[in-house]
Structure 1
Amino acid sequence: MTRSVVDYENLLENSFTDANKFIKTSIRPRWERKKLQQQEERRTLGTVIGGDRFIPNRAGMNMDLCKHLMRTSSSDSNEDLQKAVPDDVKAVSDDKKSMYASNLSSALLGVEDVKGSRIMSYQEKAPAPKGDTVNNLNILYSASAAAARQPKANAKLVTRQIPTAPSRILDAPDLMNDYYLNLISWSDTNILAVALGQTVFLWDAGSGDIQELCSFENGPNAHISSVSWVQQGGAHLAVGTSSGTTQLWDVQAGKQLRSMDGHTDRVGSLAWNRHILSTGSRDTTIVQHDVRVARHNTAVLNSHTQEVCGLAWSPDGEMLASGGNDNLLCLWDSAASARSGPRFRFTDHQAAVKALAWSPHERHLLASGGGTADRTIKFWNSHTGALLNSIDTDSQVCSLQWNPHEKEILSSHGYARNQLTLWKYPSMSKIKEFEGHTSRVLFTAVSPDGGTVMSAAADETLRFWDIFAPAHAKKTTHKEIYSVGSSSKTSWTTHIR
C-alpha cells in the first residue's frame, strides 16, 4: 500500500512538471522529505539549543529519553540523564550557562564578574582623612564635595524649640468657671473674642487694642454662654446666651444683625459650616440655622438626653460631631434631620464629652476627650465608626487642638495639675507639658497662622504659648512681648478690659 502511494506521488509530480515547464514547485517526493527529516534529527541530537528561559525548544529534546525518565524513579533520573548526555554536549551547555550569567549580570549590575565585585557599595571611595586627626572615629565624611565646602554652622539641623513658658499673659476677670460653656474664639483676622460674664470683648492680637462688643443684661443670672467667629473673613460673630437665643453681630459696624431662637435653655456650644450655624443647648437639642434666610431653623437634631456641650464640623463640611453631658458622642451627616438621626452614636466615654477636634492631616479622623470620670482621649474613624485608639490622661480633658503643621495634638486638663500636654500622633507619646495655670484650663484657641495657642483657665487668666510655631519661625523677643497691647513695657500682664 505504501509503495503504491509513493509511485502515485512520483507519477503525479512528473506529469505536473511536464505540463508546466515554467512553473516551479516546492513539493518534494515523500522519500526525499523523509531523508531530509532523518538528516535533520541526526544533526540536532548533537547540538544544544538554548531557546528561552521559560519556553523550551522541542527540537533540542530527546523524546525517547524523556519517555524513559518518566517511567523511572526520581533518584535514577538524574543519573540516567547525565549518562545520556555526551561529554562534548555537557561542555557546550556549561559554556552557555556561564555566558548567560555574565550577560545577565552585565545588564542588571553593570559588571561581568559578580563574584569579584562589591554590589552594595558606592561607586567612589570616601576621601582620605586628614593626617593630623587625633581620633579617626571623629572624622565625618560629606556626601558630596559641595556639601563638604559648606561651613559647619550650616551643617546643623534645624530643630524646633518649644518654649515651656507663656509669651504673654492677660487678666480675664469674671471668666466663668463652667466646663460646659465655650467662651473664647480666635478669628482668621487675628481678633480674639472673649466672653466675660455678661459682656463680649474683642482683643486685636496685632495692635493690642481692646473693644467691648456687646452686653447681655437680662436679669442678674444672665450671661454669655458661647461665642464663635464665622469662617473665612471674621466679620461676623455668633453669640449664644443663657436665655436660649443666638445673636449674630457685625463686628466692623458694631451692631447686632439678628437674633435667632429655637432653644428653651442656654446655648453652650456653636459651630459654623459656611452659612449654616449649629447651636447646642442645655435643652438637649441641636438646631441648624441658615443665617441667609428669614426662617433660619432648617433642622432640629435629637439624640442627646442631657446638655450638648461640644460641637465641631469636619473640615470638608460633610459631618457634624456633637458631645453631651450624657457621655454620648454623635456623628451627623450634613443633610441629617430629626427623622434620620445620627450616623454613629458612641457610648465609649464614661463622662461628659466636650473636647472635639477634627484632624487637618487625615480625613475622617476625629479626636474626643472625656470629663473627670473618663479622662481619656479617643480617636475615631468617622467613615467606618471604628475606635482607632484610646489613651488615659489621668485628668479631666477640657479641650483639644491639632497642630496644623505637624501630626501633634494638644490637650488641656483640670485637676490636679491644670496643665497642657502636647502628644505625638499616632504613637501618643508625650512631647512636652506646659504648666502655669492654677485652675483647670477650660478653653483653648489657635492663632490664624497656626503657631500660637491661647489657653483660658478658671484662674481668670489668658496665656499665650508658642507651642505650634514652626522651626523656621522668627522668635519673639521679650521687648516685643511687652510692647504688644500693653500700656507698660515693664509688665507682660495686661487686663482684657
Structure 2
Amino acid sequence: MFNNNQNPGILDAPEIRNDYYLNLVDWSSGNVLAVALDNSVYLWSASSGDILQLLQMEQPGDYVSSVSWIKEGNYLAVGTSSAEMQLWDVQQQKQLRNMTSHSARVGSLCWNSYILSSGSRSGHIHHHDVRVAEHHVATLSGHSQEVCGLHWAPDGRHLASGGNDNLVNVWPSAPGESGWVPLQTFTQHQGAVKAAAWCPWQSNELISGHGFAQNQLVIWKYPTMAKVAELKGHIARVLSLTMSPDGATVASAAADETLRLWRCFELDPARRREREKANAAKSSLIHQGIR
C-alpha cells in the first residue's frame, strides 16, 4: 500500500482482491484505515500519512477476507480465507489470539462491545465473546448463501446482515423463546446486499457504491431515494466503503487497485468543535503505535 504523490486523495492498493463479497477496509475511531491487500493487512494513519504493514499470512494461498476495528480503536479483527479470525493489538503489533468456528472463509466482521460477529461463506453468522477461551457463544442461521455484510446498530440492540441470497435480516442482540431467529427479513433486493454508508448526523442521507455502470458512488436522500450527487473517479467496480471517524469522509476501495477519499458530508459546526476539544484532550494509542 502506497501514498499516491500525484493525488493526496488517492492511495494505491496493489493486489486488492476483486471480490465483491469481502469487506477489506475499515476506519478506526483513532483515524487509522485498515486495508487488506491479498495476504497482508496495512494500516494508514489519516493524521500523519504513515503506513505500516501489520501482518502477512504465513500459508501459501491464504488471503485476508475481512477486517474490523473494535469501537475503541485499539484492537483489529481479521478474517481469513481459511475460516480463521485473528485478533490483533495494533499498538503492540502483536496477535493476541486465533479463533476458529466457521467451515468457510470469513468475509464479514462487526463488533458490538466485546462481542465479535462474523459472517461466513457457509451462510452462518457466529457471535464470539473475545474475553473467554470458549469464544463461540451463538450461531445465527438465516442465509442460504455467503454473508457479505454485517452491521450492528449504534445502540447494540440489533444486527443487520446482508447475503448473496439477496436477503437482509435484522437480528436481536439476545435469543428469543424460539432461539436465534430474525426479527425482520427483507426480500426486495435483486442482488447481493452489502451495507452502504450513512451520514451519521443526517439520517436521511446515505452513499452507496455498487451496481453502477460507470463505477461511481451515489449519494441518496432517504426514504425517497432521490439522487443527490454522483462521485466519479474509479475506473473499475467499487468493492468496499468505510466512513471516517468524524463522519465527513468516505474511503472507497475498488478493483482498479486504488483507495479514494471523498469529502462527502459537511461536518456540522457543533460536532466539529466537540471533536476538536476531544482530540486536544487525549492522545490516540493507535497513532502512537503507527508512529
Q: Which amino acid aligns with 1:226?
A: S
Say if 2:284 is the partner of 1:443: no
Q: How far off is 1:315 after superposition?
A: 1.2
8 Å CA contact 2:174, 2:180 repeated in 1: no
Q: Which amino acid aligns with 2:193?
A: V
Aligned to 1:348: 188
Say if 2:25 is the partner of 1:228: no
Q: Which amino acid aligns with 1:418?
A: N
Higher share in strand: 2
Q: Which amino acid aligns with 2:133?
A: A
Q: Which amino acid aligns with 1:215?
A: Q
Distance 1:310 1:229 in 2: 15
Aligned to 2:285: none
Say if 2:66 is the partner of 1:269: no
Larger RCO, structure (CA 8 Å, separation 6 or more): 2
* 1:377-416 equivalence runs, <5 A: 400-406=196-202, 407-416=204-213
Query: What's the TM-score, normalizing by structure 1?
Result: 0.51
Aligned to 2:18: 177
Tell me which of 426, 447, 450 is aligned to 2:223. Answer: 426
Q: Which amino acid aligns with 1:351?
A: G
* 3-state SS of 2:36 partner: strand
8 Å CA contact 1:452, 1:465 repeated in 2: yes
* 3-state SS of 1:288 partner: strand
Q: How far off is 1:470 after superposition?
A: 3.2
* 1:192-203 equivalence runs, <5 A: 192-203=33-44
8 Å CA contact 1:329, 1:345 repeated in 2: yes
Say if 2:104 is the partner of 1:307: no
Query: Residues 471, 305 of structure 1: CA spacing in aligned structure 2 closer, same or farther, 3 A cutoff?
Result: closer
* 3-state SS of 2:154 partner: coil
Q: Which runs of 5 or more residues in structure 2 are unaligned? A: 1-6, 273-291
Distance 1:247 1:310 in 2: 18
Q: Which protein is bigger by CA-based radius of gyration?
A: 1
* 3-state SS of 1:353 partner: coil
Q: Which runs of 5 or more residues in structure 1 are unaligned? A: 1-165, 356-399, 474-497
8 Å CA contact 2:247, 2:267 repeated in 1: no
Higher share in helix: 1
8 Å CA contact 1:267, 1:281 repeated in 2: yes
Aligned to 1:320: 159
Distance 2:52 2:122 in 1: 32
8 Å CA contact 1:336, 1:342 repeated in 2: no
* 3-state SS of 2:194 partner: strand
8 Å CA contact 1:287, 1:301 repeated in 2: yes
Distance 1:182 1:402 in 2: 17
Tell me which of 262, 265, 273 is aligned to 1:465. Answer: 262
Distance 1:323 1:168 in 2: 30
Query: Residues 339, 460 of structure 1: CA spacing in aligned structure 2 closer, same or farther, 3 A cutoff?
Result: same
8 Å CA contact 2:235, 2:256 repeated in 1: yes
* 3-state SS of 2:92 partner: coil
Distance 1:471 1:274 in 2: 27
Say if 2:48 is the partner of 1:252: no
* 3-state SS of 2:125 partner: strand
Distance 2:244 2:180 in 1: 36
* 1:70-149 equivalence runs, <5 A: none
Q: How far off is 1:469 after superposition?
A: 2.4
Q: Which amino acid aligns with 1:428?
A: M
Query: What's the TM-score, normalizing by structure 2?
Result: 0.86
Q: Deviations over 1:383-421 (max 9, x none)?
A: xxxxxxxxxxxxxxxxx1111233311111244110011
Distance 2:8 2:90 in 1: 27
Q: How far off is 1:331 after superposition?
A: 1.3
Distance 1:469 1:264 in 2: 43
- Deviating beyond 3 angstroms after TM superposition, the runs of 4 or more aligned structure 1 residues are 337-340, 470-473
8 Å CA contact 2:126, 2:139 repeated in 1: yes
Distance 1:464 1:351 in 2: 26
Distance 2:82 2:92 in 1: 25
Q: How far off is 1:217 after superposition?
A: 2.5
Q: Which amino acid aligns with 1:228?
A: S
Q: How far off is 1:471 after superposition?
A: 6.7
Q: Deviations over 1:278-328 (max 9, x none)?
A: 000011211100001111111111121111111111111111111111122
Q: How far off is 1:254 after superposition?
A: 0.5
* 3-state SS of 1:448 partner: coil
Q: Which amino acid aligns with 1:275?
A: Y
8 Å CA contact 2:30, 2:73 repeated in 1: yes
Identity rate, percent: 57
Distance 1:242 1:197 in 2: 10
Q: Which amino acid aligns with 1:350?
A: Q
Q: Which amino acid aligns with 1:445?
A: T
Q: Which amino acid aligns with 1:190?
A: N
Distance 1:334 1:466 in 2: 33
Aligned to 1:492: none
Number of residue equivalences: 263
